[in-house]
Structure 1
């Protein structure tokens, strides 16, 4: 049946309309929607059905009372403005809203031992129906917590007792391998790597993808330079790379560091990509507008968030059904002007 408000285009339905349709008093409607006792199950069902049919403004609360769920999902996320974690959080919020769930976020701080456990406990106290753990840093924290709601883990290997845990990831290792193989396919003998901080799971995955590509092609693995995700750290790594005439290709673990590398190479009198090719990771909005425009791999934040939330919502709403494995995230290499075949003799 069409909802009354939507059918007439008139004023929003009121509790008195719900009472009239359910055949009960307005006080009974109030008792049901406020979760009070002393209302029979049959009357409660009639009131909730009437509220749903009319599109009453508290129908989400009504559904929560009927099902014992709050229609809310908690998120444990690192409090940072870095592009990757922030973009993933936005994707989670959109996916949750589209699924009809409110989002409650608790941020952790880098270096805060016990932060994940404390954040999860805080969300459980708020009565969330499920939890998303989007915690990108290994704090060495032993997670010994029993959770009675489903948990979606994005990119971080966290373990919880007594729950259904769903894992999904952005496929960073495969993306890093794709970026490295792009440079090898152009004819570069090997690829140097500017890695992210070692405590970050994303940095480890990208390092593994770079190593995997070089190993599969039987290529030398140069010494790894490590940055902190900032353009400044990429610049410092780029100054070191510029001093080595054997460097013809660089894969940086994010776009900011790649931009810093390009700046250092340019200041050293080297041309990108004629002398050295550079590939980044993320496809941040500015990547297409730097000089030269940056070749990079695009992280599928929205796709991963939607797939993960789909599985989490299924675990919440159908707890007795088996969950399928998550779909593989898409791999997208964005080729721009910062990559080219190596110099004629393969050395600057």
Structure 2
């Protein structure tokens, strides 16, 4: 800093003000200091600046993996919003959900000097992990039943599922079969619960759900089962990738979509409109989920009160060509 001050012909205090973006420096002087920094390849010490302002301008994200489309797209939204707010990101994956593993992740994250963290885990977090033992109180969680302890941001799973059921029963289907996500997934459980509650409330039969793992391969296996059973006229699939596998299995067995079986997915991934039969699905605004997580976490970092509870991001049904009235 002293070298920059001598080179620019100003005081070290002026260099400090420019480096920390303080107002009150004449434009010409500010530019002279910036030019000197560039010529001397000077960069402010980020650790020293962090100590001075009490913030590292860095956020952490812990997620259960990037193979899930929802996780990937939500992370993309988080990173985009963090960049807009001038925050850097530290991203770590939790291969196996346990208190010990999560504790180790947060220990490593504290060494990376983050101001707070977002948890994006494919688990029912409040039941399986002791989150209150973590070293951070600046936490925001995505898709969790921990809303009574922490701020949570979630897509409106129930509303999206009800829209699916309204659509399919409105077409005249007597009931709707379901291909669900993994049993330990909060979002999968929320969709399955809403599906079941809707059928019960409307006095319709509740078929035994088939459990998948979010992959197209598990959707294909579910499609084979549904084709062999030969009963379903409408299937609500918990994500679009499983819906793709299911539609392939039905097609290979001569079952037409939507003439013989209507299929609805969840997520509205970019490929959904370009399936061989464009997919009717629930649109999730992953970018908005990421934005709200970041803004909520920054509020906590800056000392604002953000009470526990859930912030629901609306979903909407996108009707395409994979649904139609039942043929029987």
The TM-score, its normalising length taken from structure 2, stands at: 0.83
Report what 2:216 is aligned to: 231
- Greater relative contact order (Cα 8 A, min sep 6): structure 1 or 2? 2
Report what 1:137 is aligned to: 123
- In the alignment, structure 1 residue 294 sits paired with structure 2 residue 279: yes
1:106 Cα deviation after fit: 1.2
Report what 1:156 is aligned to: 144
* Higher mean C-alpha displacement, 103-112 vs 73-82: 103-112
**Which of 34, 53, 75 is equivalent to 2:61?**
75
The alignment's C-alpha RMSD in Å is 3.1
In 2, Cα distance between equivalents of 1:248 and 1:159: 37
Structure 1 residues 133 and 52: alpha-carbon distance in aligned structure 2, compared to 1, 3 A threshold = farther
* Higher mean C-alpha displacement, 137-146 vs 301-310: 137-146
Q: What SS class does the counterpart of residue 280 from structure 1 fall into?
A: strand
Q: What does the per-residue CA deviation read over 1:165-216, in whole Å, with 9 as the maximum and x for residues that have no partner?
A: 4211122232223222221121111100001110111211111121132233
Structure 1 residues 324 and 81: alpha-carbon distance in aligned structure 2, compared to 1, 3 A threshold = closer
Q: What does the per-residue CA deviation read over 1:299-338, in whole Å, with 9 as the maximum and x for residues that have no partner?
A: 1110111112111111111x15456976531222111100
In 1, Cα distance between equivalents of 2:147 and 2:308: 19
Give the paired residue count: 310
- In the alignment, structure 1 residue 108 sits paired with structure 2 residue 94: yes
5+ residue gaps in structure 1? 1-13, 34-44
5+ residue gaps in structure 2? 38-42
**Which of 296, 301, 326 is equivalent to 1:316?**
301
In 1, Cα distance between equivalents of 2:291 and 2:316: 17
Structure 1 residues 112 and 79: alpha-carbon distance in aligned structure 2, compared to 1, 3 A threshold = farther
CA contact (8 A) 1:145 1:160 kept: no
Within 5 Å, give how 1:1-348 maps onto structure 2: 15-16=4-5, 23-24=11-12, 48=20, 50=22, 54=30, 61=46, 64-110=50-96, 114-138=100-124, 140-143=128-131, 145-157=133-145, 165-317=150-302, 319-321=303-305, 328-343=312-327, 347=328
1:257 Cα deviation after fit: 1.1
Structure 1 residues 67 and 261: alpha-carbon distance in aligned structure 2, compared to 1, 3 A threshold = same
In 1, Cα distance between equivalents of 2:18 and 2:78: 34
1:19 Cα deviation after fit: 7.7
